[in-house]
Structure 1
């Protein structure tokens, strides 16, 4: 068992393309709304649709990975994500577009099935490294699609973005079928049992509760930046257009890719240290991001640090959770990512409110408050050792999972 370098690349691309179907609408929102005949006040439905579908998929579809063959599930989910993207690309009106975005978001949870697959087939001493490489694709997709959508939206048209994503999903489905090893485990649990175990996990597992709350605030901070950054950059003194604003995502990619090493550090037993250090870095990055009035250099440095920190914590958390629960990696990742989804939505909603009320500085203080909240939660868990009572698994765990304190 194991994951080859080429397989890691394929799985990272699966994550990048699938998650792109949720976020591709944001850079072309106004253009798409005009083309679909939507009023400005209704544009929020286009953004919310993918998130609604995604949240439903996390709860209802990701647990299937603990019941069915994950390689087959990845293939089917990619094809159905492509169907949703095609519906959006040809939608004659807003209602059809929203429906397509819901479908695409629903099956874009193939990302979490992919992470569970990687965790299951990886050797214990390579699990963090492989998860880090694959989940880098998520951030690459979230940020990279902003550049792609901005450029295509200004040249070919916004529908071309979803047509291209549909083609890529189908191509990846065929590639996964041809290149990935079959899921060799023999799932014994039933779907209803897996759903029930998710409920027990949320109620009783202290490791999950700690990491879930940290993740909620982590991605609220992340969402504050990327949902609100276009607001100050689109006004004086910069007055940037869609394509120019989208290029700032390239800066974020540098930080996200750099955090791939966090997985290697987690494999060496330093996931807790990585988490605390990265959360300190994340909080500090907001001091630079807030300085957009006179220079962009500090903003660019802050973006790199923020994306590095977010990815480092994200990888460390998934490493700890999959090591502690190797038999139900899909349901654990699904529940964990539900916290991610809620955090992203919280950040997106509150940053526009803060900006419209008090300006960009207030939005930055809000982002820093979210990251500081995550840091406080991590610190309390270290002091109290609350997660040491995490439910034991009958199977052998990694050295770190057996001794973890958070």
Structure 2
């Protein structure tokens, strides 16, 4: 039975709003620093607090999705994330702001539980299509958060951003209970066993291969989006933060155009399109790297990069959830650890590279990350013989995961 459109949209919206809680601070850091008297050198902690909470949640909370009713789990995590947003919105001091953001980041891992639930609610023939729609919500949340934050802050101040997100999270918590079906589980698996199974994933070839591809994929993504403002704010453009934020719309167009990736995955082409998309990712930097003289080329590069990232991201999750049907929460959460680490590496490396070699150096860095991802994909194909999805499912059903990597 197919997943109804209303449920797909709800799941995508949950992902978009939840992930936005981590990224909305980026365009209003200056306002936060001025209001709470945070030194410029310490403003990075405002963003880092949510990321730290998120990483902890990936390891400790996401595995709960393999043992509890995910409808109730998603609803509960949304409410707790709303509490964090409310604390951040009313924080009278930097410390309480960081606490609120860390709490929200911790429970923002509801995104991964939601993606896993969406995969399980879908029939095998439409799993990729569903993941394409739901993960599009994630990309919309990441890119749209910047636009939303800028607009709200300009009218009502930075605190209004967190108040609006708190209200949306509460509303979605209620909607999840009303619209999504119950997710009854046997309850015969302990938390310790689920965590042990989660750790074991890091010894499975398919998981490691797709995780490393995800790491380099989002390192390249982070290199662009964490560094692009630097050349655009400098000569000869001297664009304002609002103008720079408009490039997020170009990225959004590329990401939405990749909704087709889910259909390719359903057609059994996930591994093939991964290689093509990684090659496109590397090529996109030849356009994005021209930020010092052509804004049109930058826009083209942004569209191509976000298209490629979405294609690979959906393909990775489609393959992994098909190979581990009884541990979708754990496998998606584990994969997203690679995602988070890659994003962090790209974000920190691009500013250092820009300071020493300009935007051309950042473009070389982003290209290098993309080519490393392509190399992992190529070596994974050569090292491991092909296997049908049905065989991967059979391996997981028997609980012998030693050979799952053959699907790569």
Superposed displacement of residue 184, structure 1 = 3.6
Superposed displacement of residue 237, structure 1 = 1.3
Unaligned runs of 5+ in 1: none
Aligned-residue CA RMSD (Å): 1.9
What SS does the aligned partner of 1:359 have?
Answer: helix
**Contact (CA 8 Å) 2:217, 2:373: kept in 1 or not?**
yes
Q: Report the counterpart of residue 393 of structure 1 in structure 2.
A: 395
**Contact (CA 8 Å) 2:384, 2:406: kept in 1 or not?**
no
Q: Distance in 1 between matches of 2:323 and 2:343?
A: 25
Q: Report the counterpart of residue 241 of structure 2 in structure 1.
A: 242
Q: Distance in 2 between matches of 1:357 and 1:402?
A: 43
Q: CA-to-partner distance for each residue in 1:241-287, whole Å, 9 max, x for gaps?
A: 12111111111110111111101110000001110010000000000
Superposed displacement of residue 183, structure 1 = 1.0
Q: CA-to-partner distance for each residue in 1:331-373, whole Å, 9 max, x for gaps?
A: 1111110110101110111011111121111111111100110
Q: Report the counterpart of residue 215 of structure 1 in structure 2.
A: 214
**Contact (CA 8 Å) 2:204, 2:405: kept in 1 or not?**
no
**Contact (CA 8 Å) 2:206, 2:404: kept in 1 or not?**
no
Q: CA-to-partner distance for each residue in 1:102-156, whole Å, 9 max, x for gaps?
A: 0000000000000110111110001111011001111100000111112222232
Structure 1 runs of 4+ aligned residues shifted over 6 Å read: 386-391
Q: Report the counterpart of residue 17 of structure 2 in structure 1.
A: 17
Superposed displacement of residue 188, structure 1 = 3.1
Superposed displacement of residue 394, structure 1 = 4.7
**Corresponding position: 1:66 with 2:34:** no
Q: Report the counterpart of residue 119 of structure 2 in structure 1.
A: 119
Show the 5 A alignment for 1:146-157. Answer: 146-157=146-157
Q: Report the counterpart of residue 359 of structure 1 in structure 2.
A: 358
Q: Which moved more, 1:45-54 or 1:186-195?
A: 186-195
With over 3 angstroms needed to count, the CA separation of the structure-2 counterparts of 1:328 and 1:403, relative to structure 1, is closer
Show the 5 A alignment for 1:34-73. Answer: 34-73=34-73
Q: Report the counterpart of residue 305 of structure 1 in structure 2.
A: 304
**What's the TM-score once normalised by structure 1's chain length?**
0.96
Q: Report the counterpart of residue 282 of structure 1 in structure 2.
A: 281
Q: What number of residue pairs does the alignment pair up?
A: 402
Q: CA-to-partner distance for each residue in 1:271-315, whole Å, 9 max, x for gaps?
A: 011100100000000000011122211100110000000010000
**What's the TM-score once normalised by structure 2's chain length?**
0.95
With over 3 angstroms needed to count, the CA separation of the structure-2 counterparts of 1:73 and 1:149, relative to structure 1, is same
**Contact (CA 8 Å) 1:381, 1:387: kept in 2 or not?**
no
Q: Report the counterpart of residue 81 of structure 2 in structure 1.
A: 81
**Contact (CA 8 Å) 1:232, 1:360: kept in 2 or not?**
yes
Q: Distance in 2 between matches of 1:36 and 1:73?
A: 34
Q: Distance in 2 between matches of 1:154 and 1:133?
A: 31
Q: Report the counterpart of residue 186 of structure 2 in structure 1.
A: 186
Q: Distance in 2 between matches of 1:324 and 1:151?
A: 42
Q: Distance in 2 between matches of 1:371 and 1:136?
A: 21
